[in-house]
Amino acid sequence: MLLSFWLILGIFRIDLFDKYWYNFIVFVKLKQAFIKQIANMKIVIAPGAYKIGGPATYTRLLVEYLPLKNIEAEILSFDQVKEFPKIIRHFIFFVKMFIKLLSSDLVLAQDPVSVGLPSLVAAKILRKKMIIRFVGDYAWEQSAQRFGVKDSIDVFQNNKYSFKIEFLRWIQVFVLNHVDKIITPSIYFGELAKKLVNNKDKVIAIYNGIDTSLPVLGHEEARKKLGLNSEEIILFSAGRLVSWKGFELLIDLLPDLLKQNNRYRLMIVGDGPDMSKLRQKVMDLKLEGKVYLVGYLDREDLLVNLQAADIFVLNTGFESFSFQVVEAMYYNIPVITTNVCSLPEVIANNKEGILVDYNNKEQIRKAIEKFLVDTSFRQEIIKNAKKKSAYFSIKKTLDNLFEVLKNL
């Protein structure tokens, strides 16, 4: 009942409050215009989580670089309210967002449900603009994590599921249809978003950009810094530890590789709900000392570990846009990843990397062997990938985002 009340209040603006809110907002806007001397615009960025995954990386880059465009950015992460019970945490987030929007121009939410719905209500009450960055199907992700759905994201779009899943899907579609703009990190997700909304024109694809300000250490220097054996063949993977990222199969693959060469090692950077399961698998297969489950690393440390790798492997069944894939391309680490979602937009198979089927152990094994045996092929891939990585610059991302903000 409480959720329904503030949802209706936000979307339809009950007349009883309308005049009060209008006068209050005018006062706030006059005060805001008076005190705002430096920034031309102030936005609230609302990620679902602030530490792990692409949205977290995107948020940190925006906070760092938007001031170059005279845009002040402030973060309100859903992590701040996660300790509260469900529904209550969403209401508290709504209150926090409402307060922040009093002195801000717009909100950029990074998922359509957990932060999207309460942000939309606050934005509608205060008559502020709102952008959703649509980087994944929230209903599908939750169904895979919580409700045992095994279907891919593409299959999910055309099937019907339990009431809880369909309710999450309804909220997602509702929010997407009521925001001012929808930004997607790829053409693939742009097309997916257009299927969910009535106004297709408000969907805009803006590729993510990587930050190249940190120094390039090089392979050997990175290994020395980490104290790693120069003889080891390090397969590197990174991401949120969830089922569709395919880390379990990479661990399963390692014993086969070790039979061919005992120098193979697997390094997985990231944290998430599957950490305990992966640790158990490492113990069950007696791979302690062969598989490194590093956990969360800040960006600088992550990139040092990446540069120490021989091959970057991302066996994922779903990817909105992988910062780590592009960073591997930039740092001259050959990439093996899957031919799903937006990844073929980033990598052309056998030109900038090798694309394989999701969870196909044999294809991944052959791709690893090809990079290690065929050195001329490896160097050609590295050269092409480095060139392609320049297309995904933070400057392009900011320029395109700034155009969207300017024209709202």
List all residues 6 or more positions away from 204 whose beta carbon is below 8 Å from its beta carbon.
Answer: 181, 182, 183, 184, 190, 400, 404
CA distances (Å), 126 to each of 6, 23, 46, 98, 107, in order?
13, 11, 17, 8, 11
Q: Residue 340 falls within a domain, yes or no?
A: yes
- CATH number where 260 lies: 3.40.50.2000
Same domain flag for 238 and 133:
no
Are 98 and 167 members of one domain? yes
Same domain, 122 and 252: no
- Counting as low any pLDDT under 50, the low residues of the chain are 1-38
- Determine contact, residues 291/232, Cβ cutoff 8 Å: no
For the chain, what is the domain count? 2
Q: What span, in angstroms and rounded, lies between the C-alpha atoms of 263 and 254?
A: 11
Classify 392 in phi/psi space as left (phi over 0), alpha (psi -120 to 50) or beta: beta
CA atoms of 69 and 57, how far apart (whole Å): 19
For 186, the domain range is 2-209+394-406
Alpha-carbon 39 to chain mean position: 27
Instruction: Give me the pLDDT at residue 51, please.
Output: 58
Indicate whether 251 and 189 sit together in one domain: no
Domain membership flag for residue 214: no
In a domain, residue 398? The reply is yes
Same-domain status, 259 and 327: yes
Same domain, 333 and 231: yes
Same structural domain, 178 and 234: no
Tokens of 190: 């742009």
Asked if residue 29 and residue 68 are part of one domain, the reply reads yes
The predicted-structure confidence for 222-261, as pLDDT tens digits, reads as follows 898 888 888 899 999 998 898 889 999 999 999 999 999 9
Beta bridge partners of 237: 268
pLDDT in tens, 303-353: 999 999 999 999 998 888 888 899 999 999 999 999 999 899 999 999 999
Is there a domain that residue 136 lies in? yes
Q: Are residues 50 and 171 in the same domain?
A: yes
Within 13 Å and on the Cβ side, how many CA atoms surround 110? 23
Query: Is residue 296 included in any domain, yes or no?
Result: yes
> For the range 231-234, what are the long-range contacts, defined as Cβ-Cβ under 8 Å and sequence gap of 24 or more?
231/263, 232/263, 232/264, 232/265, 233/261, 233/263, 233/264, 233/265, 233/310, 233/311, 233/372, 234/265, 234/266, 234/267, 234/308, 234/309, 234/310, 234/311
The answer to whether residue 236 sits within a structural domain is yes
Residue 152 shares a structural domain with residue 296 = no
Residue 268 sits in the same domain as residue 250: yes
Distance CA 95, CA 81 (A): 11
Domain annotation covers residue 263: yes
- 311 with 197, same domain: the answer is no
